[in-house]
Chain A
Amino acid sequence: MKVLMFGWEFPPHITGGLGTASYGLVKGLLKHNIDVTFVVPKAYGDEDKDIRLVNASDVPLNIFDKQFAEYQKHLSYIEINSKLIPYQTPEEYYDLINQKESGTKEIGQNKIYSEKYEFSGKYGSNIMEEVRRYAMLAQEIAKNNDFDIIHAHDWLAYEAGIQAKKISNAPLVVHMHATEYDRSGENVNKVVYDIEKRGMDAADLVVAVSNLTRNIVIDKYGINPEKVVVLHNAVEPIDSMAFAGENKTVKEKIVTFLGRVTFQKGPEYFVEAAYKVLQKDKNVRFVMAGSGDMLNKTIKRVAQLGIANRFHFTGFLKGEDVDKMFALSDVYVMPSVSEPFGISPLEAMRSNVPVIISKQSGVSEILNFALKADFWDIDAMADYIYGLLKYDGISKMFKKHGKTEVDNLKWENAAKKLVGYYEKLV
């Protein structure tokens, strides 16, 4: 079976869970002898060579094509407010703010719809134009490739998936890694919502990363429940001893928050829980590793509570630094307000770090060896932190069984399930 996949990012050039999940899934599919062609807006050349990657930036666009003109008619020019851009890294966010202020960067409509265009492949202010160009190129790519199924990851690639389906009539699978409701709460960006809905309506199968996401898709987007299935993410096992020698420079135990400091991730609940624990026990240090639009507010709150000498900010971490941070941590907390899946607790667990996760996360559906609290329940969260620090029983149990639990969540198994769904479609 041959699958044409459309994504937006691919390791090592990733900003969040989307790229990691896409990569894991493709690797899993390869193990089941599924032939995958993965399209990204921009390839860098240092990606995994085992995977056939198509760089959309290399594909010329025939701007005089009839279909292109037709497509243009259906899409009006959309001004994007920077705040509404999903998956933005903090660095990009600050860059963007600065650009806006100095007013130096112009996004030329002409340039993006010229014959050749180098995608940024990021989440900048011209993202909608990139999405549109990507969709147009999808037609070209669909014409020139042979495949049985189209699979598009998240809304950025949905238009591409729809166009590829138009050309080929192959069944379309869209994969909801996150919904606009997860990213923005109730203040959804209508444009993004519409693209998500259009993608799901056009799809023959909608894959949701959790029951939580499946319910949102059905309730908020009105998608027919019969075509929405759940496929939980997985994680690749790593050598947990790789960073075991990492030296702790403080004697206190360390409780870690690692993720974007944004509304969705619930950083303020972590701060309030930390305050409660510190009132009882000063021999604990809290670390917030990450950056985002709520960072300044969070720092202010920490200062206001007078716990800054026990609460530390590392800024954005990536790659090895993330693993090092886990190696130093005694407890990992993910208080997300809304988390379609949430891979980071799995990464913590495979480093033998006990985790506290919010019940409002997809990953909580599949984990037994994790403590689960409502994101707003700071009393429960504080109690869990204190319990993990003071009473060894749970840490011992999690160390014994947690890693096994995570190691069993193989992409290979998730991919097997997906192959079953594919087979029903073709």
Chain B
Amino acid sequence: MKSICFYFQVHQPFRLRKYRFFDIGKEHNYYDGYQNEYIMKRVAEKCYLPMNKLLLDLINEYGSQFKVSFSISGTALDQFEMYTPEVLDSFKNLADTGNVEFLAETYPHALSSLKSKMEFSKQVKEHKAKIKKQFGYNSKTFRNTELIYSDEIGEMVADLGFNTMLTEGAKHILGWKSPNYVYTNAINPKLKLLLKNFRLSDDIAFRFSERSWEDWPLTTDKFVNWLNQVNEEEQVINLFMDYETFGEHQWEETGIFDFMKALPQAVFKNSDYTFNTPAEVTKMHQPIAKLHVPYPISWADEERDLTAWLGNELQDEAFDKLYQLEGKIKKCKDKSILTDWKYLQTSDHFYYMCTKWFSDGDVHKYFNPYGSPYDAFINYMNVLSDFEIRVDDC
């Protein structure tokens, strides 16, 4: 029996307000409450609420045959509580069905795995506790920010007690190998790896409404037909995508909801796939090999590397200056400082500083509150300068 494994990423950052240098030392509220609330409410209305309802209906209809998994960042959960508690309730309803797996990640959707094992562990534990508290779910599967993964990160994750981790089926790592098997970490084989099938995932997430695509329009029959063309022995198709695909990246008018609504039936009728969660998949299928990933990979852009967040002069300076504060933070007990410390680590702040997009920046402009990467950098550094003063005084 082959598996389809859906994982949806739910994340919203705390976007920063326009913070000028003359605010340094005076103003300590860093966030753009108005914009964060506006975006959260809009996405709730267009995506989270209708899609959660759609999934709940499917689960009610098909019972344990239909399952999905979510990773919801801590910053998204915090904003649900602040702005749209009804979204949180609808996720709880999904949790109550028992057909949904909730994955663990770093609480603020951070890049800490690349910098500090201690900070990383702390954030993962905090997120795990939050998921337990909100959904009564004990996460055994981990997915790192933007599917960032390397052998060493996998080892850290295994040490934290997880037995399954999700990452990208990056071509430059896999070579001739297929992403449709279970693999293991190269250092600690107890950690099993599920790899995103980027072709089939992106058919839904990116190409669904692209009229210039030769396979447009994508129907469930067509999609199931592709699933059936997968090699006999292969075990699992991992469909990993942003949850905002549904209703936000792909508008309702594109038919994306109808597609998802009809997919389970088409799968049951015309294939021998089942829907499974990551934890189930790694129990059902034996790993076939170790996967060697000496340098970090991610699910971003063509390069599948870290260059969307780190590597240019702006990103590197901001990242280094931020983590220079880690030592002092450990001694600090001030609650508001510790909250800001979390929120300032969210990867989106560094994504906004990316300069790869001078030519074609469309994907990165999405939800980007800044006119340029320089604005993102200066604004962030102004905030960080104020934060540093507070940390020093703590």
Q: Which residues of A contact B (CB under 8 A)?
A: 276-277, 279-280, 368, 371-372, 379, 382-384, 386-387, 390-394, 396-397, 400
The reply to whether B313 and A387 contact each other, CB–CB distance below 8 Å, is: no
25 CB < 8 A contacts A-B: A276-B22, A280-B22, A280-B24, A372-B372, A382-B20, A382-B22, A383-B21, A383-B378, A384-B374, A386-B382, A387-B374, A387-B377, A387-B382, A390-B21, A390-B381, A390-B385, A391-B378, A391-B381, A393-B317, A393-B377, A394-B314, A394-B378, A396-B317, A397-B312, A397-B355
The reply to whether A382 and B21 contact each other, CB–CB distance below 8 Å, is: yes
Residue interface bits B283-314, CB-to-A below 8 A is 1, else 0? 00000000000000000000000000000111
Chain B residues with CB under 8 A of A277: 21
Judge if B316 is at the interface, Cβ distance under 8 Å: yes
Interface centre among A277, A386, A391, A400 (most CB of B within 10 A): A391
Q: Given A279-B22, A280-B24, decide whether A387 and B378 contact each other with a Cβ distance below 8 A.
A: yes
The reply to whether B21 and A387 contact each other, CB–CB distance below 8 Å, is: yes
The reply to whether A383 and B313 contact each other, CB–CB distance below 8 Å, is: no
Q: Which among B314, B316, B358, B382 is the interface contact of A383 at CB below 8 angstroms?
A: B382
Query: In whole angstroms, how far apart are the Cα atoms of A390 and B21 in the complex?
Result: 10
Which 5 pairs across A and B sit closest by C-beta, in order of nearness? Answer: A387-B378, A393-B317, A397-B313, A386-B21, A396-B313
Chain B residues with CB under 8 A of A280: 21-22, 24
Q: Which among B20, B377, B385 is the interface contact of A394 at CB below 8 angstroms?
A: B377
Judge if B318 is at the interface, Cβ distance under 8 Å: yes
Query: In whole angstroms, how far apart are the Cα atoms of A276 and B358 in the complex?
Result: 31
Chain A residues with CB under 8 A of B374: 371, 384, 387, 394
The reply to whether B381 and A387 contact each other, CB–CB distance below 8 Å, is: yes
Interface range, B side: 20 to 34
Residue interface bits B349-386, CB-to-A below 8 A is 1, else 0? 00000010010000000000000101001100110010
The reply to whether B377 and A391 contact each other, CB–CB distance below 8 Å, is: yes
Query: In whole angstroms, how far apart are the Cα atoms of A277 and B381 in the complex?
Result: 16
Contacts between chains A and B (CB distance < 8 A), count? 59
Interface centre among A368, A379, A393 (most CB of B within 10 A): A393
Query: In whole angstroms, how far apart are the Cα atoms of A371 and B381 in the complex?
Result: 16
Chain B residues with CB under 8 A of A387: 21, 374, 377-378, 381-382
Q: Which among B24, B358, B381, B385 is the interface contact of A368 at CB below 8 angstroms?
A: B358
Q: Which among A368, A384, A396, A397 is the interface contact of B378 at CB below 8 angstroms?
A: A384
Chain A residues with CB under 8 A of B358: 368
Query: In whole angstroms, how far apart are the Cα atoms of A252 and B371 in the complex?
Result: 30
Q: Given A391-B378, A393-B314, A400-B313, decide whether A383 and B385 contact each other with a Cβ distance below 8 A.
A: no
Query: In whole angstroms, how far apart are the Cα atoms of A279 and B372 in the complex?
Result: 26
Measured CB to CB, the closest approach of chain A to B114, in angstroms, equals 18
Chain B residues with CB under 8 A of A371: 372, 374
Query: In whole angstroms, how far apart are the Cα atoms of A280 and B22 in the complex?
Result: 7
Measured CB to CB, the closest approach of chain A to B264, in angstroms, equals 47
Closest-by-CB residue of A relative to B317 is A393
Measured CB to CB, the closest approach of chain B to A369, in angstroms, equals 9
Closest-by-CB residue of A relative to B320 is A393
Q: Given A371-B374, A387-B378, A387-B381, decide whether A393 and B318 contact each other with a Cβ distance below 8 A.
A: yes
Query: In whole angstroms, how far apart are the Cα atoms of A304 and B312 in the complex?
Result: 42
Closest-by-CB residue of A relative to B372 is A372
Closest-by-CB residue of B relative to A281 is B21
Q: Given A372-B372, A391-B377, A397-B355, decide whether A383 and B317 contact each other with a Cβ distance below 8 A.
A: no
Query: In whole angstroms, how far apart are the Cα atoms of A386 and B374 in the complex?
Result: 13
Chain A residues with CB under 8 A of B24: 280
Query: In whole angstroms, how far apart are the Cα atoms of A212 and B394 in the complex?
Result: 51
Query: In whole angstroms, how far apart are the Cα atoms of A392 and B318 in the complex?
Result: 10
Interface residues in B311-333 (C-beta closer than 8 Å to A): 312-318
Query: In whole angstroms, how far apart are the Cα atoms of A382 and B314 in the complex?
Result: 19
Measured CB to CB, the closest approach of chain A to B353, in angstroms, equals 8
Chain A residues with CB under 8 A of B381: 387, 390-391, 393
Query: In whole angstroms, how far apart are the Cα atoms of A279 and B23 in the complex?
Result: 12
Measured CB to CB, the closest approach of chain A to B365, in angstroms, equals 15
Chain B residues with CB under 8 A of A386: 21, 378, 382
Query: In whole angstroms, how far apart are the Cα atoms of A397 and B374 in the complex?
Result: 10
Measured CB to CB, the closest approach of chain A to B187, in angstroms, equals 34
Closest-by-CB residue of B relative to A356 is B374
